Structure 1
Amino acid sequence: MLLPAIAFAQEDPQLPADLVWETNNTAPTFADPNAKKGGTFRTFVVSFPLTLRTVGPNSNSSFRGYILGNQFGLVGMHPETEEIIPEMATHWAYGKDGKTVYYKLDPQARWSDGKPVTADDYLFTIEFMRSKHIVAPWYNNHYSKMIVNVVKYDDYTISVEGAIAKPKKDLHISYGLGPTPRHFHKLDEKWVENYNWKITPNTGPYQISKIKKGKVIEFKRKKDWWAANKRYFKNRYNVDKVRVKVIRDVNVAFKHFEKGEVDTFGLNLPPYWHEKAKGKIYDRGYIHKAWFYNETRQPSHGMYLNLQNEILKDKNVRLGLAHATNVEKTISTVLRNDYERLHSGYIGYGKYTNKNVRAREFDLQKAGEYLAAAGWDKRGDDGIRIKDGKRLSLLITYTLKEYNDRLVVIKEEAKKAGIELKLQWLDPSAGFKNVLEKKHQIAWMGWSTGFRPAFWQHYHSDNANKPQTNNITNTDNKELDALIMQYREEINEEKRIELAHKLQQYVHDEASYIPTYSQPYARSGYWRWMQLPKHLGTKTSGSLFDLFSSSTGGLFWIDENMKKETLRAKKKGKRFEPVLIKDTRYKSK
């Protein structure tokens, strides 16, 4: 599948004469000028990726973020001010049609193999993403229907035209485009197989340097990275090497961390923060702890109900299940009140968030009324509801063993309403595959966030009943489709916000998603040689040790002298001051 002829064959396209070019070299910098280069950062993942591809079958794994983090876009968003700032482009301008953005590409930009990044690589992105050979229907659709044209004016000037007009900032986000190395890819029917384990040239600060299948993937910092001294990238991406080891059990990984074989460990889970991350190595100051509140869009954690399931097709069952899900007890017991109840999948989007949407409370009477209305009005000897000889039994699929304790609470509380919930743990790779192939009944998971609330990928019928799409509830509702398309096409911000609110209410009313909880902070344990900026992180930092993100990644560094000092002190039993930091600057009041 090729681009429309206009993108390739337009003869000598001319830039509009009245373009007003913009850039941004005045937003505040957010990296620490005292950061030092060097060292190896050692971290872990719980499963080895099924492929190094970032599109196509089995590509939507957690490791995908490591790869995409090193593929930069045309522009970025400042993590404190949300201003547009340069990445692959130095300047931008807006067309009068309200849906086209013009970009001047940075002529210094290079692929990791040394070749220059040019306009042709952006044209190839469209050809690539529209190709049937990548076996990625969501991308085929998005890059055909939403990004309708890319025009090359010269080797370092392009325009990107979206399908519908949008506010200026939204144009960059909705029609954001990264380059794809034309010289590297051969698009044919064997592309998926042939590129499973090929290392794609990238534009970011690191590139994969070593792979031991099933065990380790290493990244190496580029010594001559083209953007190293750019305003918003200077003093970032400081470690020389990143070693990602597969440790399939998080509890085992924690032991590796406390032995000093892993440099940092996320302590968001209450048992780790309150109980496990204690003792001599903390009291003697070898390992520090930090609790950093952020102010950012919250992932949509919750229970996603597959509407193709015979039981869950009935809306009354879904409503009954929502009222039988005791999230509040999970938060107050297992989660130590560290978490907050999530009321929808669209929290933290400012005016776009509908604050009137509230999660359904645990209420056994209401649960019983809805379930009885669905015909589940009788119970068996064990208390589980029955209908036509079948039990009201459903399977929850989850991918982290740390979720088990909270799911046991959910399971036991639902039993009071006559619902049997069975728990199915799958490792992350297998779990993602199971859910994206729509083989689940209930998925316990969360989606990462975008700049604006996203509805089409999760709830439009175009993505229902198909594998490898993000509509994991299999929602297929023409009335909802129409609202989603209105939202996508609306340029007036007030009307767009109104539509976003309507959509959130509609999704809530359909009850295919039960929101659970949010964590508006990052908690980490880290060996004292791991250094953070004075401000720890940015307003939108989801992790203090984000490796590669162009907006918040690479702010930390390793102090090699302090590492030697710490290891010597540990051997001799010497003490340092214990460190526990709690930063509440961005905590919501």
Structure 2
Amino acid sequence: MKNKIKWIGAIFLLVNGSWVWAASLPADLKWETNDTDPVFASPKALPGGSLTMFIDSFPLTFRTVGPDSNGSFRSFIQDNQLRLISFHPNTGNPIPSLATHWAIAPDNQTVYFKLDPRAKWSDGKPVTADDYTFGYEMMRSKEIRAPWYNNYYTTEIVAVEKVDDHTIEVKSGNRKAKLDLLNTTELWPQPKHYYKLTPNWVKQYNWSQVPTTGPYVMTEVKKGKSITFSKQPDWWAQNDRYNQHRFNIDTIKVQVIRDHNIAFRHFLKGEIDTFEMILPNWWHEKAVTPEYKQGYVQKVMAMTDTKQGGQGLHLNVTNPKLADINVRLGIQHAMNLDKMIATVLRGDYDRATTFGSGFGEFTDMKLAERAYDVAKAREYFAKGGYAKPGPDGILQNDMGERLTLAITYTTQEHSKRLTVLKEEAKKAGLDLELNLVDGATGFKVMLEKKHEAAWLGWGGGGLYPQYWESFHSDNANKPQTNNLFNVADKDLDKLIDAYDVEFDTAKRAELSRQIQQRIYDLAIFVPGVQLNYVRASSWRYVMLPEVPATKNTPDQLYWPMDGYPHSSGGLLWIDPKVKAETQKAKEAGEALAPINLLDKTYAHH
């Protein structure tokens, strides 16, 4: 017998002999869905085949939360885990994913989602409301050792309630405009039947292959060498409108090759199928081999209009030297970024002036570049106590300590960029010490705040700039947070706190610009570069749609997974007929027509 007593806004249910609260639906909710936006995959796509990619370091964990989880491999797992909804990569509109419908309550703080009753985990278990209520509990748990998630699911997400098995209520910490609210509340589920929250959680699940809701599952792991994903033969969402003709590849092998030059040789032999070519020296100097000239390998470049995270030099202000704003301002003017762009980057990139770009009114386009200026740099260094040149030309303070800046970075390909900056900084009396550390390990050094300066770029993230994780004092002087600056500034905190609760979009954009101004005034970040294209090479049998990239395609043009927040990956496919023709021509030494494609559909004007 089902006993229930109705209360305002809730139901009191007898479940397994215990009385429990359950949320109930408000009257007059307006349910929405979206099955009318244009599809963006190609109906010419063919299912099947295998694809081999590479990464430069083996992940330190398969967990997506907790210590060491925030590395580059995380995208392979996270982008294969569907969220409640996604955002169309060209229109920006919300589209269904694990939820078929959504409804925003009049408080502009609460969203209701109807879960797709067909949704299944890769182990065959159904996805239900319990996976969301458990996920909320898990993300707030100290057992996962993830302070960022603990905080986010306490301040940004303040409730996740079950209405019934396929309806949930998600409440934001404050009122938000529609898209911002949806972007905040479209959560990942966590498989309640799989996880147990124990004090040993981090170690217990370090290498777990957790059930997924997306098209692929890990099927082979060779520690330190490779990870293979395989397509689920009867993936439950394959025929949904925005998934049709996507995720076509049967097997994706991700191979570890630490040196990009060695990886390129594997690519030219056909042992790797795709190769990212964002870096100018690869595109202009290396993609000119016989394999290109004979048409076996193609070059594809597509203009995009993406939101971009901050890329540049993060100064750790807990370092006594860098605690002095004069030293930080001197560093700003000692970095000859224009020369780096003109020479090493061949003018392909644009100079950045802010931490992140492409967010429209949320980006302060009026911030002036701090130009390379030896005299101005030396003037600031002198104010910071470094006035006397040493025998090697590097400035010293009264105690004879040299003016050095140790830069931690994780990509070998950036060595040439930093070498230019090093040579130019010497003229201003600054010695840059370049410390290249293996990808996953190097990022761990940064998260543990063991760097003086960190050179790296962040992904574009959500629909709007996110500042709390990188700049709020809540995340200063704590390991495993993204505040690599260790900045704790009361004025900045006030602006970020106001930004996070502001409902009015125009006022929020104004606060965003004020935050960027404050970051600029503190001189804790030296903005590097930004770019408005994706480009890559592949063997000619790896096919893409007629418009090869979406407006919001991330760096990786041939990304086989879904992508966050815009559902933009999984567009490629293998054409077996073209593959056979290519291999036959290669064996016979016969040339095919070279392919060098430039698509300007989404060029930013």
TM-score (norm: length of structure 2): 0.95
**Aligned twin of 2:416:** 405
Counterpart in 2 of 1:576?
592
In 1, the alpha carbon distance for the partners of 2:531 and 2:139 equals 34
Residue of 560, 567, 577 corresponding to 1:561 = 577
What does residue range 416-427 of structure 1 map to in structure 2 within 5 Å? 416-427=427-438
Q: 2:248 aligns with which of 234, 238, 244?
A: 238
CA deviation digits over 1:395-452, x for unaligned, max 9? 0001011111110000011111101110000000110100000000000001112210
Distance 2:357 2:242 in 1: 28
Distance 2:34 2:517 in 1: 37
Alignment partner of 1:392 out of 394, 400, 403: 403
Equivalent in the alignment of 1:455: 467
Question: In 1, Cα distance between the equivalents of 2:22 and 2:467?
Answer: 38
2:267 alignment counterpart: 257
Once the two structures are TM-superposed, the CA of residue 6 in structure 1 deviates from its matched residue by 11
Give the equivalent residue in structure 2 for 1:501. Answer: 513
Check the 8 A contact 1:344/1:359 in 2, yes or no: no
Aligned match of 2:498: 486
CA distance in 1: counterparts of 2:263 and 2:368, whole angstroms: 37
Q: Secondary structure at the match of 1:11?
A: strand
Deviations for 1:286-325, whole angstroms, at most 9, x for unmatched residues? 0010111100112311000000111111011111100000
Q: Structure 2 residue aligned with 1:377, among 380, 387, 392?
A: 387
Q: Find out whether 1:544 has 2:557 as its counterpart.
A: yes
Q: CA deviation at 1:586?
A: 2.2
Q: 2:486 aligns with which of 450, 453, 474?
A: 474
1:446 has 2:462 as partner? no
- Select 1:430's aligned residue among 411, 436, 441: 441
CA shift for structure 1 position 365: 1.6
CA distance in 1, matches of 2:323, 2:26: 53
Cα distance, 1:588 vs structure 2? 2.5
Structure 1: 5+ residue runs without aligned partners? none
Counterpart Cα distance in 2 of 1:12 and 1:201:
27
Secondary structure at the counterpart of residue 135 of structure 2: helix
Cα pair 1:7 1:149 within 8 Å, conserved: no
- The 5 Å alignment of 1:173-188 reads 173-188=183-198
Unmatched runs of 5 consecutive residues or more in structure 2: 1-9, 14-18
Shift of 1:537: 1.1
Counterpart Cα distance in 1 of 2:299 and 2:411:
23
Following superposition, the deviation at residue 37 of structure 1 comes to: 0.4
Q: Report what 1:216 is aligned to.
A: 226
Partner of 1:357: 367
Moved more, 8-17 or 559-568: 8-17
Secondary structure, aligned partner of 2:45 = coil
In structure 2, distance between residues paired with 1:155 and 1:357 = 50
Cα RMSD, aligned residues only:
1.4
Aligned to 2:529: 517
Q: Does 1:24 align with 2:31?
A: no
CA contact 1:298–1:520 (8 Å) conserved in 2: no
CA distance in 2 between partners of 1:155 and 1:142 (Å): 25
Is 2:311 the counterpart of 1:298? no
What letter is aligned with 1:359?
Answer: E
**Distance in 2 between residues matched to 1:297 and 1:266, nearest whole Å:** 19
Partner AA of 1:448 in structure 2:
G
What is residue 16 of structure 2 aligned with on the other side? none
The 8 Å contact of residues 311 and 356 in structure 2, kept in 1 or not, is answered as no
Distance 2:24 2:80 in 1: 32
In structure 2, C-alpha distance between the alignment counterparts of 1:96 and 1:429, rounded to whole Å: 44
**Distance in 2 between the 1:72 and 1:378 partners?**
58
Shift of 1:359: 2.8
- Aligned partner of 1:586 in structure 2 is 602
> Any idea what SS the aligned residue of 1:348 has?
coil
Do the aligned residues in 1 keep the contact of 2:22 with 2:161 (CA within 8 Å)?
A: no
Contact 1:7 1:123 in 2 (8 A): no
Q: Distance in 1 between matches of 2:557 and 2:78?
A: 19
Q: What is the distance in 2 between the residues matched to 1:200 and 1:150?
A: 22
Deviations 1:148-207 (A, max 9, x none): 001111000001001100001101112331100000011111111111111000101101
1:162 equivalent among 148, 158, 172: 172
| Count of equivalent residues | 585
Once the two structures are overlaid, the 10-residue window that deviates more, 373-382 or 41-50, is 373-382
Structure-2 separation of matches of 1:293 and 1:50: 34
- Please give the secondary structure, in 1, of the residue aligned with 2:101: strand
Please say if residues 302 and 444 of structure 1, whose CA atoms lie closer than 8 Å, have aligned partners that are also in contact: yes
CA shift for structure 1 position 269: 1.1
Runs of 4+ deviating beyond 6 Å: 5-9
SS in 1 for 2:591: coil
Confirm whether residue 103 of structure 1 aligns to residue 113 of structure 2. Answer: yes
Return the alpha-carbon distance in structure 2 between the equivalents of residues 419 and 223 of structure 1.
Answer: 58
CA contact (8 A) 1:346 1:504 kept: no
- How far the C-alpha of 1:10 sits from its partner, in A, is 5.5
Q: Deviations over 1:450-478 (max 9, x none)?
A: 21011100000000000000000001011
C-alpha separation in 2, matches of 1:483 and 1:360: 23
- Trace 1:338-353 onto structure 2 (pairs within 5 A): 338-353=348-363
Secondary structure of 1:127's counterpart equals helix
1:91–1:442 Cα change, 3 Å: same
Q: Secondary structure at the match of 1:214?
A: coil
Cα distance in 1, alignment partners of residues 472 and 579 from structure 2: 52
Are residues 1:337 and 2:375 paired?
no
Sequence identity percentage = 49
Question: 1:401 and 1:277 mapped to 2: Cα distance?
Answer: 18
CA contact (8 A) 1:88 1:109 kept: yes
- 1:105-143 C-alpha deviation (Å, 9 max, x unpaired): 000100000000000000011111011111111111111
- How many Å apart are 1:358 and its aligned residue? 2.8
Matched residue SS, 1:55? coil
Tell me the distance in 1 between the aligned counterparts of 2:520 and 2:470: 13
Equivalent position amino acid for 1:572 in 2: A
2: CA distance, partners of 1:51 / 1:205? 21
Between 513-522 and 111-120, the greater mean CA deviation after superposition: 513-522
SS state at 2:314 partner: strand
CA distance in 1, matches of 2:22, 2:142: 29
Closer/same/farther in 2, CA of residues 10 and 150 from structure 1, 3 Å limit: farther
Greater mean deviation of Cα atoms: 444-453 or 322-331 = 444-453
- Please say if residues 398 and 424 of structure 1, whose CA atoms lie closer than 8 Å, have aligned partners that are also in contact: yes
1:12 Cα offset (Å): 4.4
1:67 and 2:115 aligned: no
Conserved in 1, the CA contact under 8 Å of 2:316 and 2:452? yes
Q: TM-score, structure 1 length as denominator?
A: 0.98
Q: Distance in 1 between matches of 2:156 and 2:363?
A: 24
Farther-moved stretch of structure 1 (5-14 vs 240-249): 5-14
**Following TM superposition, by how much is the alpha carbon of 1:587 offset from its aligned partner in structure 2, in angstroms?**
2.3
Query: Following the alignment from structure 1 to structure 2, what is the Cα–Cα distance between the partners of residues 358 and 118?
Result: 51
Q: Is the 8 A contact 2:12 2:22 kept in 1?
A: no
